[in-house]
């Protein structure tokens, strides 16, 4: 089944991000160097929020909830927010190479292909903790999409905070990432400024 990804490329272009952050290798051939009018401070802040929501596939209500939790935690609010988004199970599935793209990883999770510490998880927003082990469920080990991603797909760079065992179809969360390890073109302080108004 083929899916039209033009809308993804168009959205990436409008937000100024590379499709690779979502797992797509295709690039837009359009010229993005057109002169644009000056963007206001609010416009910049809004764009950073939209960019982050789009990368992680999170809606406004859920994103706001993450922000409120991050604000009440110790440390820097923006870093806490990104760390929380990175610890979503759909992101872990993408980062570990089981899902070729972020949307595909989300779909694999919602279809019940994964378990956390032996318990089935089919909620893409499930937050993992250090020490958690994500595995492909026993009755789903012959899933052609997962197999194809691991055997024939582009090999992702596995972050240091994850330990992937392709033979066992498992991934262990060693720890949560620090800000320097989150390789996304996001200026999270602008999101904090936006919500702090």
Same domain, 113 and 157: yes
Same domain, 68 and 143: no
Model confidence at 192: pLDDT above 70: yes
Q: Is residue 55 part of a domain?
A: yes
Model confidence at 35: pLDDT above 60: no
DSSP letters along 23-92, please?
A: T------S------PPPPHHHHHHHHHHHHHHHHT--HHHHHHHHHHHHTSSS-HHHHHHHHHHTBHHHH
Q: Which domain holds residue 156?
A: 88-175
CATH code of the domain containing 15? 1.10.1050.10
Q: Is residue 63 part of a domain?
A: yes
Same domain, 135 and 100: yes
Q: What is the mean pLDDT of residues 98-115?
A: 94
Indicate the Cα dihedral angle 128, 129, 131, 134, nearest 10°.
Answer: 0
Same domain, 103 and 55: no
pLDDT reported for residue 9: 64
Same domain, 72 and 141: no
What predicted TM-score, i.e. pTM, was given to this entire model? 0.82
CATH code of the domain containing 132? 3.10.290.10
Same domain, 168 and 114: yes
Same domain, 80 and 98: no
- Reading the block at residue 139, the tokens are 């009755």
pLDDT reported for residue 185: 83
Sheet containing strand 162-165, strands side by side? 119-121, 114-116, 133-136, 170-173, 162-165
Same domain, 95 and 156: yes
Same domain, 92 and 171: yes
Q: What is the pLDDT of residues 63-89, one digit of tens each?
A: 999 999 999 999 999 999 999 999 999
pLDDT reported for residue 99: 92
Mean of the per-residue pLDDT values for the chain?
A: 86
Q: What is the pLDDT of residues 2-17, one digit of tens each?
A: 344 447 666 666 566 6
The count of structural domains within the chain is 2
């Amino acid at each position: 089944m083929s899916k039209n990804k033009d809308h993804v490329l168009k959205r990436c272009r409008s937000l100024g991000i590379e499709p690779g952050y979502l797992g797509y290798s295709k690039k837009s051939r359009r010229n993005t160097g057109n002169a644009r009018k000056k963007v206001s401070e609010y416009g910049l802040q809004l764009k950073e929020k939209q960019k982050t929501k789009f990368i992680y596939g999170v809606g406004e209500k859920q994103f706001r909830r993450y922000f409120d939790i991050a604000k009440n935690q110790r440390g820097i609010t923006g870093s806490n927010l990104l760390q929380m988004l990175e610890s979503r199970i759909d992101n872990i599935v993408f980062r570990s190479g089981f899902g070729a793209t972020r949307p595909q990883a989300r779909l694999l999770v919602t279809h019940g292909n994964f378990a956390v510490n032996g318990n089935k998880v089919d909620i893409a927003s499930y937050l993992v903790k250090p020490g958690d082990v994500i595995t492909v469920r026993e009755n789903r080990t012959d899933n052609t999409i997962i197999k194809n991603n691991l055997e024939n797909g582009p090999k992702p760079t596995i972050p240091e905070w994850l330990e992937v065992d392709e033979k066992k179809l498992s991934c262990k969360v060693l720890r949560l990432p620090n800000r320097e390890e989150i390789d996304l073109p996001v200026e999270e302080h602008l999101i904090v400024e936006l919500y702090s108004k």
